Amino acid sequence: MRDTALPTVTAICRALIEQIDSGLLSAGGKLPAERKLSELFDTTRITLREALGQLEAQGLIYREERRGWFVSPPRLLYNPLVRSHYHAMVEGQGRVPATEVLSARQVPASAAICELLELPALSSVYQIRRLRRVDGRLVLYVEHYLNPAYFPGILDSDLTCSLTELYASRYDIRYGRVRFDMVPTALHGEAASVLRVAEGSPALRITRINGDQHGRIIDCDLEFWRHDAIHVSVEVPD
């Protein structure tokens, strides 16, 4: 059964890639429902989903739970060496950013967060959970953890704006040394739910530990990017 399905999977992939490359299926556009695609290619849902899964793995299309399949827009270029915040980075590439605050509260710090922020056991931190979009598409779920000693009253601020700019304007705090850790991961729980993807979908997890101009560790970010939304590009100067 699988041997006879393979040419059909290949044919479906080639046909959809041709439509995408020609611009007939435009970036961000919604694909027809799986039932209609199955009829178009005269194949089963199982075979069609295998083809769609291959295109998704290549980053050419993506799926949102309860919404269907879409053509992937260009990836966002992300250079960790460039000191910029999310909105400036997205706007600098001619695209439209948006940020939604999911929650902002003081919570007990987990052992992992205590280690990242170099805090003693049983410390409290400010946790800010945000959801971010590019051109209306959900691309990033992020958890920020702040040392409360440096940011009194920050939870009452407009947290849809840049934390980088808020730190500077309200607390005279600017980023100094920053450490990045990047690992491929799978989305589960809250991250999968708010990004509208299936449990176990691939993602890139970026952990940032941020120091300020005085060398103090002030916060850390746990970023969960859709795997097909980001292109990490680093150029080391001479």
pLDDT tens, 2-13?
Answer: 455 455 899 999
Q: Residue 191: what residue type?
A: A
> Is 194:103 a contact under the CB 8 Å cutoff?
no
What residues does CATH 3.40.1410.10 cover in the chain? 76-232
Separation in Å, CA 97 to CA 39, 89, 139: 37, 9, 10
Q: What's the pLDDT band for 231 if we cut at 50, 70, 90?
A: very high
Task: Tell me the fold of 76-232.
Answer: Chorismate lyase (3.40.1410)
Cβ distance 95 to 69 under 8 Å? Answer: no
**Beta pairing class for 124-134 and 97-108:** antiparallel
Q: CATH code for 2-71?
A: 1.10.10.10
**pTM for the predicted model, two decimal places:** 0.87
Please report which helix (H) or strand (E) contains residue 19, including its range.
helix 2-22
Residue 19 CA to residue 13 CA, distance in Å, equals 10
- Tell me the pairing of strands 76-78 and 230-232: parallel
pLDDT tens-digit series, residues 134-178? 999 999 999 999 999 999 999 999 999 999 999 999 999 999 999
